[in-house]
Amino acid sequence: MADVNTVTNISVQKIWSILGEVCDPEVPVLSVIDLGIIREVKVTTANEAALVEVVITPTYSGCPAMDVIRMNIRMELLQHDYKNVQITTVLSPAWTTDWMTEAGKEKLKAYGIAPPNIKQQVCNTHLFAEDEAVQCPHCNSYNTRRISEFGSTACKSLHQCNDCQEPFDYFKCH
């Protein structure tokens, strides 16, 4: 599909730009683009009416923020006069922190949440994440420990720095 639908003059690139303004309700410094949950934007026409379809993949299949994200996407597009909007959720392939932008990871750290980093090793035929050292977003020390598998949301774990003693969330790899 071309970037611009010639019948309706709707720019897919413009829609991507608008979606960059939609923030994650749980981590408001991240946009849905930073998170990597927007998989595709499609523009189709039927009888001179344009349909904008936004394909999303949730960070977790049961993520409670997805209803709010869908609503915020729809509202942001409506504010830009895109009235015929369809939001499609796709669960496969499953979302991974690899889809996050580097800018998003930097925003997480500046916000006080350790961004995901993963060390992987192959054991037999399975891929496992090692118990890794997590860098403190406050003082940059790797002398940290996990306090709880779950932090403020299911996608984060709670850690504490042994050097500066500050607690912080870590955006878990998956």
21 and 64 part of one domain = yes
13 and 81 part of one domain = yes
Structural domain range at position 102: 97-171
Surface-to-core class of residue 1, CB atoms within 10 Å of its CB (0-12 exposed, 13-18 middle, 19+ buried): exposed
H or E element that contains 35: helix 32-35
Domain ends where: 89, 118, 146? 89
Q: How many domains is the chain partitioned into structurally?
A: 2
Domain ends where: 50, 66, 89? 89
114 and 54 part of one domain = no
15 and 83 part of one domain = yes
For residue 137, whether the previous peptide bond is cis, meaning omega lies within 30 degrees of 0, is no
81 and 102 part of one domain = no
The pLDDT of residue 10: 78
pLDDT in tens, 100-152: 999 999 999 999 999 997 544 333 334 434 456 899 999 999 999 999 998 88
CATH number at residue 75: 3.30.300.130
Residue 17 has which token pair? Answer: 């730009």
45 and 104 part of one domain = no
pLDDT in tens, 13-62: 999 999 999 999 999 999 999 999 999 999 998 777 789 999 999 988 78
H or E element that contains 13: helix 12-19
Residue 152 has which token pair? Answer: 């403020």
Place of tokens 């598998």: 149
109 and 45 part of one domain = no
71 and 114 part of one domain = no
List of residues 6+ apart from 135 with CB closer than 8 A: 114, 117, 141, 142, 144
* Confidence at 155, pLDDT banded by 50, 70, 90: confident
60 and 101 part of one domain = no
pLDDT in tens, 24-36: 999 999 999 999 9
3-class secondary-structure state, position 41: strand
